[in-house]
């Protein structure tokens, strides 16, 4: 599977916003910038509300219904005023009283039944009284009887269901949605998994996403009774929501009813029902922040032995030689008798940079760096160019201080976490190709790479080239494009200073020979030379993508030293690619990509400086409005091979209403509906008649 380039600046903005919104880093600046908080529902001011929801969820998952009701009474009294929700809480409280008591001591449960549950059952909802009579069977069937008619009522899984339902309701009413990055990740992974399944291909990041995105979803929030009489919604919105978050048509309608017809609010409600492993996500974010120099590192040196026994800490070796965490090991096994995670044990754990023994195996290997040349690296001497940046780094604080007083129940996870995450330090054994730099420890390598990145981001290209050549004379021989880009910056900087002779010297000594050896660099060279005709103050404009160049340099030189890219970048590359391919199949534009900043993550951010003058093609964009038409080539076949054979290669214009009609009547994905319409000249009635004939 191919991968897509990632706009690191856009990704970094989302990740920093996430870390601030979740109070994961110590920082005095506002948790969310205006550009990332375009609506109140997306603002980080919802942090306290999310914390309250986590408290309520934890209480319910632990079976402490009284504690949850106290929190509802203090922070969300509307829940207790809704008899439908109150009845569910009281029914669970009745079961917990039976679970705590003995067969001889049923007094508290009977009193609660008479005083609270029975009266509420009369007014909750039409089916409530039947449910009330059914739950009475718990008096005569034991909680360990898996064949009893009330086995589901006794199951601890019911705790998680009611906790998820209350979380869904509270998120919507309190506008306590997850930060944008968290929602974006849920959405992209969901599309990635669906795309791989439909195409019958193996995901290259399956090991990560299977652990990160849980199979369980919170139950949907319940629309108010009055909303069942709501006016019909636009079919465009219904189908867009249904296919974006994998709902039935009726499920999408119910979600829109709950959101009072607001498509984007309904989408947020549904995307937040997906469950991420919060601890794993936090560590993925932390690894990224350490790699980029946003937070303090705590990097373990290569000479230090790994703490703990991998066989005891749930670790295993991956193909690239790194250590990974086995979330399915005995240390993470789940049982109904022990399903707690000691979150406090994760305090003080360090995320270390991962060192690859074979970077060529990585999906995201976007550089031409030759890691096998590492033995020629020279030792750095008294390098202090990164000292200033180190002082600016934030401290990672985690989300545990606020949660110390909360039950440590974690949904379908349990036992103590012996290691921090799948991003823990890689194997302490360096490959034979890297034996020449074994006396440069991990901390030094890490600081060297960040120092190079900082110099490049400031436009100090000559200094970067000098430093890298001193460390590794062979690096630019393996990465000529990077050298060309750095010399472009040096050239333009000299032009901006009015030193035309110095600029031409750089062009003759470096840019010309590099372009001669690579024809693809000839056009950028010509465009670079045009800067000589411009006024000197306009030569080095502020819009040059120096940060993108710095990122490319960091990735390539980091791999040269055996430092892998963050695994979040690996996830983003693969999921952004499948997002693009999926909507090519759907032949439409994603309605929600702007809301989730997916469009900015895909923006061309190439460090080739002259590429800024090129315009971006929008040939694939289209709208999901009622006036939309879709041009479908009849030479294309559906993904599952179920479409009829195409008769010709001419294009058929499909009206959006016809597409929606076929999708609705035949319950088909958009792409399949378009392919069917293409066989019958875009006539929806003919398609439906042929299918039911």
Q: Is pLDDT above 60 for 586?
A: yes
| Residue recorded with tokens 């339902």 | 165
Q: pLDDT category, 302, cuts 50, 70, 90?
A: very low
List C-alpha distances in Å: 217 to 220, 347, 437, 693: 9, 28, 48, 38
Q: Region 294-306: what's the mean pLDDT? A: 53
Contact 177, 546 (CB under 8 A): no
Beta-carbon-side half-sphere exposure of residue 49 (alpha carbons within 13 Å):
21
DSSP state of 307: S
What pLDDT does 531 receive?
A: 80
Q: Return the higher-pLDDT residue of 313 and 285.
A: 285
| Residue recorded with tokens 């599952």 | 640
Instruction: Give the other-Cβ count within 10 Å of 400's Cβ.
Output: 16
Q: What are phi and psi of 423, to 5 degrees?
A: -100, 20
Nearest to 112 by CA among 91, 128, 131, 126: 91
Strands (E), 410-542: none
Contact 610, 632 (CB under 8 A): no
Q: Region 548-565: what's the mean pLDDT? A: 91
Task: Name which of 231-245, 538-552, 575-589 the model is least confident about.
Answer: 538-552
Q: Is pLDDT above 90 for 105?
A: no
Q: What are phi and psi of 452, to 5 degrees?
A: -60, -40
Q: pLDDT category, 124, cuts 50, 70, 90?
A: confident
Q: Region 585-613: what's the mean pLDDT? A: 76
Q: Is pLDDT above 60 for 118?
A: yes
What pLDDT does 499 receive?
A: 87
What pLDDT does 530 receive?
A: 84
Q: Return the higher-pLDDT residue of 613 and 264.
A: 264
Q: pLDDT category, 643, cuts 50, 70, 90?
A: very low
Q: Region 636-653: what's the mean pLDDT? A: 38
What pLDDT does 322 receive?
A: 38
Q: pLDDT category, 125, cuts 50, 70, 90?
A: confident
Q: Among residues of the chain, what percentage have pLDDT more than 90?
A: 45
Q: Is pLDDT above 90 for 310?
A: no
Cα dihedral 35, 41, 45, 47, rounded to 10, equals: -120
What pLDDT does 40 receive?
A: 36
Task: Name which of 378-387, 487-496, 623-632 the model is least confident about.
Answer: 623-632
Q: Return the higher-pLDDT residue of 8 and 421.
A: 8
What pLDDT does 46 receive?
A: 80
Tens digits of residue pLDDT in 127-145? 889 999 999 999 999 888 8
What pLDDT does 76 receive?
A: 93
Determine the 3-state secondary structure of 122 from DSSP: coil
Determine the 3-state secondary structure of 409 from DSSP: strand
What pLDDT does 441 receive?
A: 65
Q: Region 302-326: what's the mean pLDDT? A: 36
Q: Return the higher-pLDDT residue of 49 and 415.
A: 49
What pLDDT does 350 receive?
A: 45
Tens digits of residue pLDDT in 149-198? 999 999 999 999 999 999 999 999 999 999 999 999 999 999 999 999 98
Tens digits of residue pLDDT in 427-456? 332 233 344 344 566 678 888 899 999 999
The domain ranges of the chain are 63-176, 442-565, 656-692
d(CA 668, CA 691): 12
Q: Is 330 exposed, middle or buried (0-12, 13-18, 19+ CB in 10 A)?
A: exposed
| Residue recorded with tokens 């409280």 | 93
List C-alpha distances in Å: 470 to 112, 167, 373: 78, 56, 14
Q: Return the higher-pLDDT residue of 372 and 669.
A: 669
What pLDDT does 495 receive?
A: 85
d(CA 519, CA 508): 16
Q: Is pLDDT above 80 for 13?
A: yes
Q: Is pLDDT above 70 for 415?
A: no
Q: Is pLDDT above 80 for 612?
A: no
Task: Name which of 83-97, 183-197, 382-396, 411-425 the model is least confident about.
Answer: 411-425
Contact 568, 351 (CB under 8 A): no
Q: What is the mean pLDDT of the chain?
A: 74
Q: Return the higher-pLDDT residue of 351 and 298.
A: 298
Q: pLDDT category, 676, cuts 50, 70, 90?
A: confident
What pLDDT does 402 receive?
A: 52
What pLDDT does 269 receive?
A: 95
Q: Among residues of the chain, what percentage have pLDDT more than 70?
A: 67
Residue 502 structure tokens: 């110095």
Cross-strand bridge partners of residue 274: 217
What's the chain's Rg over C-alpha atoms? 29
Beta-carbon-side half-sphere exposure of residue 260 (alpha carbons within 13 Å):
3
What pLDDT does 485 receive?
A: 92
Q: Is pLDDT above 50 for 623?
A: no
What pLDDT does 335 receive?
A: 37
d(CA 91, CA 108): 14
Q: Region 397-418: what's the mean pLDDT? A: 45
d(CA 168, CA 181): 19
């Amino acid at each position: 599977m191919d991968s897509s380039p990632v706009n690191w600046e856009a990704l970094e903005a989302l990740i920093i916003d996430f870390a601030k919104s979740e109070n994961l880093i110590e920082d005095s600046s506002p948790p969310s910038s205006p550009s990332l908080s375009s609506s109140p529902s997306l603002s980080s001011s919802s942090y306290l509300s999310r914390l309250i929801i986590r408290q309520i969820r934890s209480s319910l998952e632990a079976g402490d219904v009284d504690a949850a009701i106290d929190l509802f009474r203090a922070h969300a009294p509307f829940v207790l005023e809704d008899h439908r929700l109150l009845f569910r809480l009281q029914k669970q409280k009745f079961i917990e009283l039976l679970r705590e008591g003995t067969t001889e001591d049923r007094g508290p449960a009977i009193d609660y039944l008479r005083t609270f549950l029975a009266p509420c059952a009369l007014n909750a909802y039409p089916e409530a009284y039947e449910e009330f009579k059914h739950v009475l069977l718990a008096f005569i069937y034991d909680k360990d009887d898996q064949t009893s008619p009330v086995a589901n009522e006794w199951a601890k899984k019911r705790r998680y269901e009611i906790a998820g339902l209350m979380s869904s309701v509270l998120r919507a009413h309190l506008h306590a949605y997850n930060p944008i990055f968290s929602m974006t990740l849920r959405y992209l992974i969901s599309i990635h998994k669906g795309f791989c399944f439909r195409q019958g291909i193996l995901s290259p990041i399956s090991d990560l996403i299977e652990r990160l995105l849980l199979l369980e979803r919170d139950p949907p929030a319940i629309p108010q009774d009055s909303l069942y009489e709501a006016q019909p919604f636009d079919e465009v919105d219904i189908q867009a929501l249904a296919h974006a978050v994998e709902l039935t048509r009726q499920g999408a309608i119910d979600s829109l009813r709950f959101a009072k017809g607001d498509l984007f609010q309904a989408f947020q409600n549904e995307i937040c029902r997906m469950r991420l492993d919060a601890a794993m996500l936090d560590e993925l974010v932390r690894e990224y922040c350490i790699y980029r120099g946003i937070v303090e590192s705590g990097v373990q040196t290569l000479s230090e032995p790994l703490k703990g026994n991998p066989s005891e800490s749930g670790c295993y070796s991956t193909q690239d030689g790194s250590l990974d965490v086995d979330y399915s090991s005995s240390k993470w096994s789940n049982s109904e008798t022990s399903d707690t995670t000691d979150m406090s044990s994760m305090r003080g754990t360090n995320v270390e940079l991962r060192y690859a023994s074979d970077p060529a195996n990585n999906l995201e290997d976007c550089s031409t760096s030759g890691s096998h040349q590492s033995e020629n690296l020279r030792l750095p001497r008294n390098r202090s160019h990164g000292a200033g940046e180190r002082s600016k780094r934030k401290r990672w604080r985690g989300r545990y201080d606020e949660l110390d007083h909360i039950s440590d129940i974690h949904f379908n996870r349990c036992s103590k976490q012996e290691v921090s995450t799948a991003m823990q330090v890689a194997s302490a054994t360096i490959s034979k190709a890297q034996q020449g730099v074994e006396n440069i420890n991990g901390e030094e390598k890490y600081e060297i790479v960040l120092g190079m990145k900082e110099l490049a981001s400031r436009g100090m290209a000559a200094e970067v080239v000098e430093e890298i050549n001193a460390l590794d004379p062979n690096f630019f021989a393996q990465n000529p494009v990077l050298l060309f880009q750095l010399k472009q910056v040096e050239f333009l900087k000299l032009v901006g200073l009015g030193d035309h002779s110095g600029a031409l010297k750089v062009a003759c000594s470096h840019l010309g020979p590099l372009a001669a050896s690579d024809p693809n660099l000839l056009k950028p060279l010509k465009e670079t030379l045009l800067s000589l005709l411009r006024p000197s103050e306009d030569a080095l404009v502020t819009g040059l993508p120096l940060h993108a160049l710095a990122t490319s340099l960091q990735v390539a030189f980091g791999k040269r030293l055996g430092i892998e890219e963050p695994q979040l970048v690996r996830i983003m590359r693969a999921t952004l690619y499948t997002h693009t391919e999926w909507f090519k199949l759907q032949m439409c534009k994603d309605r929600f990509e702007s809301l989730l900043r997916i469009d900015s993550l895909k923006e061309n951010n190439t460090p080739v400086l002259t590429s800024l003058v090129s315009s971006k093609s929008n040939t694939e964009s289209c709208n999901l409005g009622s006036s939309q038409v879709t041009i479908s080539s009849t030479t294309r076949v559906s993904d599952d091979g179920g479409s009829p054979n195409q008769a010709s290669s001419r294009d058929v214009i499909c009206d959006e209403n016809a597409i929606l009609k076929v999708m609705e009547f035949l319950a088909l994905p958009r792409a399949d509906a378009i392919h069917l319409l293409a066989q019958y000249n875009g006539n929806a009635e003919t398609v439906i008649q042929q299918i039911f004939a």
